[in-house]
A and B are shown apart, each in its own frame.
Chain A
């Protein structure tokens, strides 16, 4: 099969974060573009959720497993660890409860891939500083009163939240507004200034289970269990 080229720049980066033959949930999957790319290029098994009725219908008609629904209400139906990756691309800032969503992603999936526009980008800072008005940019093209994006945050904010939630950042990719790509974790100075768009591969910290040493092998009598 021929490799499908990404329609969006962040999709090709997301693809690089994903291993072969994995099970993936794409939240806000649109008409299934990324799902198609990952099925084709990574032999993935894909599922999707899409809020927009027409996009969901298109995705289903294209043969993808897509549930028309609202991720903020519907993620709870999935069992723990039922996917290898859960992808949330360019939507965290539009969620009512981004923190809850983040923990849901890592409950459902072993790993989560989250991408978002960085509100700490210099152009945005400059606009606010100079004009004194809420910034309107290419990646955030909406006016303040008519925007799906209700939670603005910067890379620094995101890193702090991950730290607080014991989330491990396995990989992080930044894109400048010119499309230049770099590793966020390696470039310390100015990252929050120059990153236009950020993509993170997340997982939970692995805690070693506490092992209790005991000479006795049976901890409870059978009769106790039976009762």
Chain B
């Protein structure tokens, strides 16, 4: 494979170019050349046994730790990944790549089409979780890493971790699957659809060609983000954080200003999202999640895999207040793996922080991830 690596100084990110590779997508479409933006932390050991791939969620990116130049803030999981953190970069070589279809430097609707000086926009082919993982596997291969010690992800990242276990079990040793499911539920698809409709109803969207006039469908995208953000929290967490408290005022306005703190918060979330995320990318990636469905096939895939997968260890984690990917969805995975006598661990963490718990302060999550990685790594290191 002929892979070219460069560093994008503006993005502060490594870019891997895969040229004339003819990546066949699940839809049947073919992308002849593509690029993946990625970051790597820590050092690969001489035996190349300490590599971990972290998969980001829907609106994440490759900046898992350290500084994110796009937002000017810390990486999205910098509390989890770094020196002496639960995913310890003193010990592990951690890779995180922006997914195919994303908008932080990897090939996606925002990027220029191969050979043409126009962005893909709505011409970008439909990508699935399987396609993202296939692209990641090419990146790992081109980094000359035969086997990843672990693939870790929450939400859409968990979907990718599960897909790794299905498609490339021989290239990994374990997965940590947080707040995920075998399938995207009807309710989850429904929320995504509302978000997409918000974007597509924005007159500026123009069938995905808004970039031609250097415009952004800000209203639609921010509304999509506001809806989604509600699903990432829980009723209790919202009540604890905001209650019915008023925003910068003592009395209600009898109008439609952001009287309540919760309104102001959501507006802020929507506004800041628009500055960092591409609307078309949001359409494509939410669709990829919607299409994810291993409900009927997972058990068979694992039982009758062409690649040996008996060695795989699974850590499945859910949160009590996560109603987007509730515990029952995780337990279905655990049940199926147990029925096949696979090495699986499962923990439901008690928290009121909802689906977003995996990104937030949860000491028990830190402990199990750190312990699971450390102890299982010690076993292969013996």
Contacts and interface: CB of A to CB of B under 8 A. Distances in A.
Interface in A29-58: 47, 53-54, 56-58
Contacts of A77: 334-336, 338-339
A65 B335 contact: no
B340 A79 contact: yes
A94 interface: no
A69 interface: yes
A82 B343 CA distance: 12
A60 B335 contact: no
A82 B337 CA distance: 12
A85 B56 CA distance: 40
B350 A61 contact: no
Nearest to A54: B364
B345 A82 contact: no
B191 interface: no
Interface in A72-97: 74, 77-79, 82-83
A63 interface: yes
A116 interface: no
Contacts of B375: 61-63
A66 B341 contact: no
B371 A63 contact: yes
A200 to B, nearest CB: 25
B260 interface: no
A65 B379 CA distance: 13
A63 B347 contact: no
Contacts of B334: 67, 69, 77
B344 A65 contact: yes
Nearest to A50: B347
Nearest to B347: A68
B341 A79 contact: yes
A158 B378 CA distance: 43
A53 B213 CA distance: 55
Contacts of A53: 347-350, 364
Given A77-B338, A77-B339, A62 B345 contact: no
B96 interface: no
Given A60-B371, A63-B371, A68 B348 contact: yes
A67 B338 CA distance: 9
Contacts of A54: 364
Contacts of A67: 334, 338, 344-346
Given A77-B335, A79-B339, A79-B341, A61 B348 contact: no
A83 B339 CA distance: 11
B372 A60 contact: yes
Contact of A64 (B338, B345, B374): B345
B343 A61 contact: no
Given A53-B350, A60-B368, A61-B372, A66 B340 contact: no
Nearest to A83: B341
Contacts of A65: 313, 343-345
B201 to A, nearest CB: 43
Contacts of A66: 345-346
A66 B367 CA distance: 14
Contacts of A83: 341
A53 B375 CA distance: 20
Contacts of A61: 367-368, 370-372, 375
B112 to A, nearest CB: 46
A56 B339 CA distance: 20
Nearest to B313: A65
Nearest to A76: B335
A203 to B, nearest CB: 19
Q: Which of B340, B346, B370 has the most CB of A within 10 A?
A: B346
A57 B364 contact: yes
A74 B372 CA distance: 22
B315 A60 contact: yes
B313 A57 contact: no
B71 interface: no
B90 interface: no
B7 interface: no
Contacts of B364: 53-54, 57
A53 to B, nearest CB: 6
Contacts of B315: 60
Contacts of A60: 315, 345, 347, 368, 371-372
A53 B368 CA distance: 12
Contacts of A68: 346-348
A69 B316 CA distance: 13
Contacts of A57: 347, 349, 364, 367-368
A63 B379 contact: yes
A32 to B, nearest CB: 10
Contacts of A74: 335
B376 interface: yes
24 contacts: A47-B343, A53-B350, A53-B364, A56-B347, A60-B372, A61-B368, A61-B371, A61-B375, A62-B375, A63-B371, A63-B375, A64-B345, A65-B313, A65-B344, A66-B346, A67-B344, A68-B346, A68-B347, A68-B348, A69-B346, A74-B335, A77-B334, A78-B338, A82-B341
Closest 8 pairs (CB-CB, A-B) = A63-B375, A61-B371, A77-B335, A67-B346, A82-B341, A60-B345, A68-B347, A77-B338
Given A66-B345, A67-B338, 19 more contacts: A53-B347, A53-B349, A57-B347, A57-B349, A57-B367, A60-B315, A60-B345, A61-B368, A63-B372, A63-B374, A63-B378, A63-B379, A67-B344, A74-B335, A77-B338, A77-B339, A79-B339, A79-B340, A82-B341
